[in-house]
Structure 1
Amino acid sequence: MAFLLILSMLIYNGVIGYMPPVEELMHPRDRYATTIYTSDGVEMGKFYRSKGNRSYVDFEQMSPHLKDALVATEDVRFEQHSGIDVRAIFRSIIKRVILGKHSAGGGSTITQQLAKQLYSPESSGLFERALQKPIEWAIAIKIERFYTKDEIVKMYFNQFDFLNNAVGISSASWVYFGKKPKDLNVQEAATLVGMCKNPSYYNPFRFPERVKERRNVVFDQMYKAGMLTSESCAALKATPLILNEHKVETHEDGIAPYFREELRRILMADEPDSTKYSNINAYYADKYNWDNNPVYGWCKKNKRKDGRNYDIYSDGLKIYTTVDSRMQQMAEAAVSEHMIEAQKRFFQNECGSKFTDPYTRNPDEMSKATKERVINMAIRSTERYRAMKAEGKTHDEIMKAFDEKVEMRVFDYNAPDHEIVRVMSPRDSIMYMKTFLRCGMVAMDPRNGKVKAYVGGPDFKHFKYDMVSTGTRQIGSTAKPFVFSLAMQNGFTPCSTDFENSTRGFGKWQPKGGSHGLGLHPQLRDALAVSSNWVPPQILLRLGAPALVDALHNDFGITSKLDTTLTLALGSCEISLLEMVSAYAAFANYGQRPLPLMVSRICDNRGNVIAEFFPKLNQAISAESSYRMVEMLRGVVTRGTGRRLGAYNFKGDVCGKTGTTNYNADAWWVGFTPEIVCGVWFGGEDRYIHFQSTGEGQGAAAALPIFGKFLRKVYNSKELPYDENAKFIVPSDFKMCEDKIYDNEGGVVYEHSGDGDGEDGDGPHPDPAVAAEDQSAVNDMFN
């Protein structure tokens, strides 16, 4: 007895075995999945590691049948003991040792079982196994000192692994019955409690009859404990086992998977270290985000009370995003509808019967050597190639294996879940997947930068590369509004006519597409409307390409590398879609550019707010310049390259700009209303994959329709607070075209003599229907 007393004291004080400190017992390291929500309260998905799909549930959110069933079955004297049930231990010893009964029942209390779940790994050595039970006793006693009985039950159910990716009572209730824990009836509660004896043996999906028998044992125990009458017990035992199987969503399931993956990346981002970057421009981009975006690297910038950094995989955070679930579904639908139709045309017009050769057949654009190099690069980037290389296979052996046909799961728009099994070689499967065109689409509120919808590609499971944030492509003519805004900032107006529509001064570089119908000295608004390729470089000749680079970097938030050449005026640079949409928001928001905002607040697993995020805006251009840009970009829609939007019959102000790069490799549309700014990129995985016909591959045909479909769905919704009749508010004393324009030396380069009709005159006049306070606010902004 003295030996046992000394042993118990040594264990209790942590001299033998592991004894968690008081602080850890008071605040155990619970590992809960982080849940992501939309701005309208819809669950988007979760962040968790393997077997970590556990959500925190309060005791009050659990069905009372759960505790009754658990106590009756596992620990009928739960309310009387203080962690160890001595009576049950002796009863078990007598039955097993003296009477030789193998089904003598266990002596472990609910608290001991919890201690084992929390702190007792499987012991391997004989000595460790001998000490495991006494250690659990000691931990159980300490747990009882710090927690109430209901809290112990809550922790038990939140910790237990019910198999089938159902970790914790929240997941288990959903996986097996499609319910929340509070809604479980007594049969369902008894079924789950019955699993606690041995989840693998009592797996409802594999052994339903066995599970029903175990459930009925739980009913018998509840009857013995006085929780059921004999009649109700008999009636319950006669009921069939009814399961309602629900799949636990993976990271690939749910709405906005591209958005969630980008959110995961930026939340867990490390502080950029220039020595770890092979591309210095990538370092500068990440450093800019680290310094300016409080969400970027949030987990590494902030610590828990215990001094650890936050971990989205185990801290059970609740992240409330800015995405609207309804707008996200509309965006995904718009993308899907357009991509299916575009893909049909691409197969018919570009691929023919060669579904494994999507590349251009223009030898001037892509030689055979270039094609083979691109294909080999694609092969080398696959997991299959890297795995075979790690096994010691030679390059020739790997290439031979890539030509052997096997069964493969590949993407197909017409198949259930967009997946089909085909017999093809790995090489052909790579080429087959490349035949599918890609896209990116993002919408935000220009007034505050809140991202409302985010679609990074046609299907996250098969095309994980995100074309909203990660991918950068040449922006083509969507660069031109920045050039024209530079002119507005330097005193020119939409009516200015002093920039030639010619290539004079360009040197050897002679871009096509001067829009000869404009004449030699077109008004700037006409040049932008028809997307002249000559006027924008002429503006840079006058104002300087470095001035545009400075504006894009410092005012419009572009982090990509930009060359100070005239080609910048036509969009030779590569920029992400998200940065483009944020930059265009400055035109829609009276010159103020918002930083993209993806998260509104973060709560801990108890619902306490631990971080809030607010809009950040900077004045990119003056309010006067922004409204002049609104007027010109409205002209793109009403009489320019964006005229196809007329098919959607929008009633209010819609502005935007198309973009198309060489050989139709990239198609763009970035458009906005007073309430929404939205951008679309469309193209192939490689720039050699595209429509040959400009009629099919230009921005107006390939990208603009997604914007039109999305905005029409938004306006057709009666649930969303967007006004189809919304118009930009005009300042009271604003003149679209000033009387005189001066050059840098103070000389007059343009003198206005219009008649004020809104076409050649001083622009539209204030709308008398605009609320006085709104008009006053805009007037103040312009002043």
Structure 2
Amino acid sequence: MRKIKSKWLRWSLWGIAGLTLAFLLFYWSIYFGLWGHIPGREELGEIVQTEASEVYGQDDELIGKYYLYDRQSIPFDDIPENLINALIATEDFRFYDHSGIDFRSFFRVFFKSILLRDDSSGGGSTITQQLAKNLYKRKNYGRLGIAVNKIREMIIARRIEKVYDKDEILTLYLNTVPFSDNTYGIESASYKFFGKRARLLTIDEAATLVGMLKANYYYNPRLFPDKSQIRRNTVLHQMVKYEYLDKDVYDSLKSVSTELKYTAYTHDEGIAPYFREQVKKEVEAWCKANPDAEGNTYDIYRDGLRIYTTMDTGMQAYAEAAMQEHLSALQEQFEKSYGQRAPWNTDSKVAGEAVKKSPQYLSLQQKGWDEKKIMDSLSKPRKIELFDWKENTISDGSTIDSIKHYLKFLNTGMISVDPHTGAIRTWIGGINYKYFKYDHVRQSKRQVGSTFKPIVYTAALEKGLPPCAYFSPKKVVYEEYDGWSPSNANDKEEEEHVSYSIKYALSRSINTVAVKVLDYAGIPNAIAMAKKMGIVSPLPEVPSLALGTAGISVEEMAGAYTSYVNKGKPVKPYFITRIEDNDGNVLVEFEPENTAKPAFSEHTRQVMLEIMKATVNEGTASRLRYSYKLQNAIAGKTGTTQSNKDGWFVGITPNLVTVTWVGSDDHRIGFRSTSMGQGANSALPVFARFLRKMNQDSTYTRYTAASFPPTYATVMEELNCDNIREDTFLEKIFGNSDVVRKKEIREEKKEKKKKKEGFFKRLFKRKKKDKE
């Protein structure tokens, strides 16, 4: 019997020794890197994490990010104590007592999870081990995977503890750990779920975020609020258990829901997406031209740059809301005006050409496909999501259906600029960045219509035109320009034997007078004035320039109009103030590029501003007063182009210049009527709604309560003349002195007679042909 016992004891000891030796060999094989690289102390001491670059508004509010991984690192001092307490109480309550490995938890996990395959035993990883797992991702080692990865993480954790102190480990962990919705690090998670910096988190918010760490999908408060609340309460209970939280506080919080302020900082969504895209382009260009001290190019997606801009986020939110309110209503009217015969609803030439110009068609054409094969491919139905102002729809449709659908939408561009510095406060490049990537503030150049007229009048005043000059509204023919003869939107604006003051003519946007004023100024002088005012787009040397036939961007127009409230000096709009690295070191600062020399005199500036005040008070923009009841100090100018293709409005207040354009992306599609398409109806309401929202917010009193400086008494006296003046007896006989061309249009009756004769002649020919 003794022999048997001795034999079993001997075999047991040999077995234990064998297992111990096997475990040691297994451990040392991992330690020496046979299962994969194990970082040394030097490597661990130089941990560099990929960080998102951040974009801030003028009030230092985060408005966007550029990233591969949505992570923002913060120092230990910015991590609130209640967050650390929640983390330790839930994930590793012996954190301050071990050196990277909690052996009690380890052996529990080893025997239950690894040997007995019991998942209920928990993870057993310390915060340091979890950090090791986050920094050096697990690999698949088959059946030994759990053992290899756990031991590997233990080795790395011990080395981390020798390189960093406990506070540094907590900082690294909280800057690395993944949260819900593909978010990394506590700062990014705090911004995404609660719209605030981590240091401002409340106890229940901190507990909610810590609760995600157990299973960041299952406990996502956006998707599963009830599950998240249960897990949050578990975290709070753990804080009570380990004396980090009073039970009374726990009792007061456990039944209260934690309110989210969810913000997705994605490329397509969030505030000011068109603006953020322009910022990205500018910063990337700067990074390429300005490498760091070691010659490395900054990476906007990895290096955690901090980009500070001039944008006012509150003002931008009001602008976006104003645009959405107006454009959604205008779109409905626009579609109704076309009815069933709209170009996007039929096999029209416009729709057909739009398909053939689409990226999808051109891509297949480059592959050598013939037209039939391309059209067959583009006609195949599939599930597509279509944008709509009321609600996006997902339905069966083809690529051609999608192209026609988006053909119908009106689009917009809007910008607000501080006229004294050029700082851009708002930027709307289109109605929805996800579906319409083209930016109508900077990329698009559309005919500007009557918004160019003030530049013409400014040039004429600088040449010596008296502020109280009169011009006849009668049409004239410009023989040297192929008999071109501009007309007005309303025949009543071409009264016989009267003349209009330039104040009246510009405030009512009389086309015939604008062309005569251009003739007085001289086309070269008007072009030179436009360039002095910051217009860089090419301008045609033709008399129709007075009517805004030139294509100019919204951004350029805003810069030009700033001169009317900035002592005659135009400013160049800008939007980046400085760029910092991820440590807060300033890499570059940007200053306004403003000219010191005025484009025109103070006298001219005041005359023009008074005329544009009249545009708002009694002219084409007067609905700001009678319809929107705005009492602010406002000057402005409406603009409408030929066939109602483009609607413009420029709103000028003492400290803000806003330019708005509305139209179709396809130049062939315009509004069906002038009443709908004119700038006063299509573009002005966006500005009106925007300003009305600002009026209701005391934050913007600087803008809304500001007054224009007093106008010189001499200027007011010069403008103190009748709007309409009857021609004198001699002018009635010999013609008004403002007639700048010899040949006038004959009576309207004669023209109408010719048109009628032409109609009846064609009709007679048609009938004669039918008889034959």
TM-score in terms of structure 2 length: 0.74
- 2:545 corresponds, among 553, 568, 574, to 568
* Distance in 2 between residues matched to 1:17 and 1:312, nearest whole Å: 29
Contact 1:590/1:624 (<8 A) preserved: no
Amino acid in the other structure paired with 2:81: P
Is 1:591 aligned with 2:601? Answer: no
Deviation at 1:213, TM superposition (A): 9.7
Q: Which residue of 2 aligns with 1:667?
A: 647
Is 1:507 aligned with 2:481? Answer: yes
**Gaps in structure 2 of 5+ consecutive residues:** 1-20, 724-772
Find the residue that maps to 1:681 and give its secondary structure.
strand
1:151–1:562 CA distance, 2 compared to 1 (3 A): same
Deviation at 1:712, TM superposition (A): 3.3
CA distances 1:11-49 after superposition (whole Å, capped 9, x unpaired): 8xxxx9475895983562342352433x34544x32233
| Range moving further from structure 2, 658-667 or 711-720 | 711-720
Contact 2:456/2:521 (<8 A) preserved: no
CA distances 1:625-655 after superposition (whole Å, capped 9, x unpaired): 3223213323333444333333144445432
Q: Which residue of 1 aligns with 2:744?
A: none
1:244–1:431 CA distance, 2 compared to 1 (3 A): same
Q: Which residue of 1 aligns with 2:753?
A: none
Is 1:402 aligned with 2:378? Answer: yes
Deviation at 1:659, TM superposition (A): 1.6
Is 1:49 aligned with 2:67? Answer: yes
Deviation at 1:583, TM superposition (A): 0.9
* Distance in 2 between residues matched to 1:390 and 1:129, nearest whole Å: 51
* Distance in 2 between residues matched to 1:644 and 1:498, nearest whole Å: 26
Is 1:579 aligned with 2:556? Answer: yes
Is 1:31 aligned with 2:19? Answer: no
Please show how residues 545-624 of structure 1 align to structure 2 within 5 Å: 545-553=523-531, 555-605=532-582, 610-618=587-595, 619-624=598-603
Largest Rg, 1 or 2: 2
Q: Which residue of 1 aligns with 2:693?
A: 713
Q: Which residue of 1 aligns with 2:511?
A: 533
| Range moving further from structure 2, 624-633 or 304-313 | 304-313
CA distances 1:375-400 after superposition (whole Å, capped 9, x unpaired): 2235x324xx5787799976434423
Q: Which residue of 1 aligns with 2:11?
A: none
Contact 1:49/1:313 (<8 A) preserved: yes
- 1:730 corresponds, among 706, 711, 720, to 711
* Distance in 2 between residues matched to 1:582 and 1:646, nearest whole Å: 25
Q: Which residue of 2 aligns with 1:280?
A: none
- 1:758 corresponds, among 720, 741, 756, to 720
Deviation at 1:580, TM superposition (A): 0.7
Please show how residues 278-677 of structure 1 align to structure 2 within 5 Å: 298-303=286-291, 308-349=296-337, 351-354=338-341, 357=344, 370-371=349-350, 373-378=352-357, 380-382=358-360, 395-413=371-389, 415=390, 418-496=391-469, 502-504=476-478, 506-513=480-487, 515-517=493-495, 523-538=501-516, 540-541=518-519, 544-553=522-531, 555-605=532-582, 610-618=587-595, 619-647=598-626, 648-651=628-631, 653-677=633-657
* Distance in 1 between residues matched to 2:222 and 2:630, nearest whole Å: 52
Please show how residues 169-188 of structure 1 align to structure 2 within 5 Å: 169-172=186-189, 181=198
Find the residue that maps to 1:617 and give its secondary structure.
coil
Amino acid in the other structure paired with 1:375: A
Find the residue that maps to 2:52 and give its secondary structure.
coil
* Distance in 2 between residues matched to 1:663 and 1:556, nearest whole Å: 28
Amino acid in the other structure paired with 2:698: K
* Distance in 1 between residues matched to 2:202 and 2:329, nearest whole Å: 48
* Distance in 2 between residues matched to 1:325 and 1:253, nearest whole Å: 15
Deviation at 1:421, TM superposition (A): 3.6
Contact 2:655/2:706 (<8 A) preserved: no
CA distances 1:277-298 after superposition (whole Å, capped 9, x unpaired): xxxxxxxxxxxxxxxxxxxxx4
Contact 1:447/1:589 (<8 A) preserved: yes
- 1:59 corresponds, among 64, 71, 76, to 76
TM-score in terms of structure 1 length: 0.73
Deviation at 1:579, TM superposition (A): 1.2
Contact 2:195/2:263 (<8 A) preserved: no
Q: Which residue of 2 aligns with 1:252?
A: 268
Q: Percent identity?
A: 35
Contact 1:32/1:54 (<8 A) preserved: yes
1:4–1:731 CA distance, 2 compared to 1 (3 A): farther
CA distances 1:559-594 after superposition (whole Å, capped 9, x unpaired): 323333333232222111121111111122121111
Find the residue that maps to 2:537 and give its secondary structure.
coil
Amino acid in the other structure paired with 2:622: R
* Distance in 2 between residues matched to 1:551 and 1:513, nearest whole Å: 25
Contact 2:311/2:425 (<8 A) preserved: yes
Q: Which residue of 1 aligns with 2:172?
A: 155
Deviation at 1:164, TM superposition (A): 2.5
* Distance in 1 between residues matched to 2:477 and 2:120, nearest whole Å: 94
Deviation at 1:521, TM superposition (A): 7.0
Contact 1:653/1:728 (<8 A) preserved: no
| Range moving further from structure 2, 604-613 or 332-341 | 604-613
CA distances 1:302-336 after superposition (whole Å, capped 9, x unpaired): 45566544444334444443333333233233323
CA distances 1:467-520 after superposition (whole Å, capped 9, x unpaired): 222222111221122222222333334234589974446431413226534868
Amino acid in the other structure paired with 2:387: F
Deviation at 1:699, TM superposition (A): 1.8
Amino acid in the other structure paired with 2:569: Q
Contact 1:493/1:628 (<8 A) preserved: no
Amino acid in the other structure paired with 1:633: M
Contact 2:134/2:177 (<8 A) preserved: yes
CA distances 1:192-232 after superposition (whole Å, capped 9, x unpaired): 556546656877788999989988997998799x5579x96
CA distances 1:252-296 after superposition (whole Å, capped 9, x unpaired): 33333332233233332x3xxxxxxxxxxxxxxxxxxxxxxxxxx
* Distance in 2 between residues matched to 1:665 and 1:310, nearest whole Å: 43
- 1:701 corresponds, among 681, 704, 709, to 681
Find the residue that maps to 1:352 and give its secondary structure.
helix
Find the residue that maps to 2:353 and give its secondary structure.
helix
Contact 1:208/1:241 (<8 A) preserved: no
Contact 2:473/2:494 (<8 A) preserved: no
Q: Which residue of 1 aligns with 2:15?
A: none
1:80–1:569 CA distance, 2 compared to 1 (3 A): same
1:493–1:319 CA distance, 2 compared to 1 (3 A): farther
* Distance in 2 between residues matched to 1:566 and 1:627, nearest whole Å: 26
| Range moving further from structure 2, 679-688 or 542-551 | 542-551
* Distance in 2 between residues matched to 1:679 and 1:375, nearest whole Å: 29
* Distance in 2 between residues matched to 1:701 and 1:445, nearest whole Å: 25
Find the residue that maps to 2:412 and give its secondary structure.
strand
Find the residue that maps to 2:432 and give its secondary structure.
coil
Deviation at 1:704, TM superposition (A): 2.2
Find the residue that maps to 2:311 and give its secondary structure.
coil
Count of equivalent residues: 691
1:627–1:508 CA distance, 2 compared to 1 (3 A): same
1:437–1:72 CA distance, 2 compared to 1 (3 A): closer
1:70–1:449 CA distance, 2 compared to 1 (3 A): same
1:547–1:116 CA distance, 2 compared to 1 (3 A): farther
Contact 2:621/2:680 (<8 A) preserved: yes
Find the residue that maps to 1:558 and give its secondary structure.
coil
Q: Which residue of 2 aligns with 1:772?
A: none
Q: Which residue of 2 aligns with 1:277?
A: none
CA distances 1:433-472 after superposition (whole Å, capped 9, x unpaired): 3222222222222122222222223333333332222222
Contact 2:539/2:550 (<8 A) preserved: yes
Amino acid in the other structure paired with 2:353: V
1:702–1:306 CA distance, 2 compared to 1 (3 A): same
Amino acid in the other structure paired with 2:468: C
Amino acid in the other structure paired with 2:682: A
